[in-house]
Amino acid sequence: MGINIRAALFSIIYKKCLRLSSESKQGHTCGENINLMSVDVERIGLFSWYFHNIWAVPVQVVLTLLILYKSLGLASLIAFISIIILMLTNIPLGKLQEKFQEKLMDSKDRRMKVTSEALRNMRILKLQGWEMKFLDKIFEHRNFETRWLKKLLYSLSMFSFIYLSAPMFVSMVTFGFCMLMRIPLDSGKILAAFATFEIL
């Protein structure tokens, strides 16, 4: 399904680009069109992979909480609350990531515009001796793009750290609560809890 959607969108965007008037091309640069085809179409194609999470994730959460409640009792509610806290800490990070992604795409558009402009007008650049000026301009746009890319990757690494440390954090909180409430823990319960924390 994803491949079909991607192929259809590629052809629609390509046909639309061929029909654009000169006036429309001033508003929509070549860089924007390339980004549409390379990034946005790819993301829409990946949607079919994640579409079933709409119903699968709530079912998984309910089942894992039932399994946890069966083995740990009231401590499963603490696990659920700590997971919700972790999810809430991801909201500002997600908004920051969205902002960085937007700025990165904007800087990519500008760089692609300058690059395609230089390639289209290569004869004029060679005649006037402006190659180095345009090269400096492209490098300037590339450095600006790299700065946003760095910020995006740093926020992604923070996001990944929280995501990967979540099972450990949840297990520490849950087992700490079990010790406080004197809930008996044996190796079978602990291993089952670890597996369900990973699923959660």
Whether 120 and 22 share a structural domain: no
Q: Please count the helices (runs of H) and the strands (runs of E) in the chain.
A: 9, 0
- Stated length of the chain: 200
pLDDT tens digits for 48-85? 788 888 898 889 888 888 888 888 888 888 888 888 88
Domain that holds residue 37: 1-51
Same domain, 180 and 81: yes
Residues 86 and 31 in one domain: no
Q: Which amino acid type is present at position 98?
A: E
Are both 85 and 42 inside the same structural domain?
A: no
Question: Is residue 28 within a helix (H) or strand (E), and if so which, with residue range?
Answer: none
Residue 29 predicted with pLDDT over 70: no
Q: Indicate whether 70 and 158 sit together in one domain.
A: yes
Residue 190 and residue 131 in one domain: yes
Range 49-56, long-range pairs (CB < 8 A, 24+ positions): 49/2
Asked whether residue 3 falls in the same domain as residue 68, the answer is no
Q: Which of 36, 51, 66 is the endpoint of a domain?
A: 51
Domain boundary among 51, 71, 87: 51
Q: CATH number of the domain at 72, please.
A: 1.20.1560.10
Q: With H, G, I as helix, E, B as strand and everything else as coil, classify residue 148.
A: helix
Nearest to 130 by CA among 140, 121, 143: 121
Q: What's the confidence (pLDDT) of residue 28? A: 67
CA pair distance 49, 51, nearest whole angstrom? 6
| pTM of the predicted model as reported, rounded to 2 decimal places | 0.62
Cβ neighbors of 31 (< 8 A, separation 6 or more) are 108, 109, 110, 111, 112, 113, 115, 116
The model's pLDDT over 98-137, given as tens digits with 9 standing for 90+, comes to: 899 888 888 888 888 888 888 888 888 787 887 888 888 8
* Interatomic CA distance for residues 197 and 200, integer angstroms: 5
Look at the chain and report how many structural domains it folds into.
Answer: 2
Let me know whether 117 and 162 are in one domain: yes
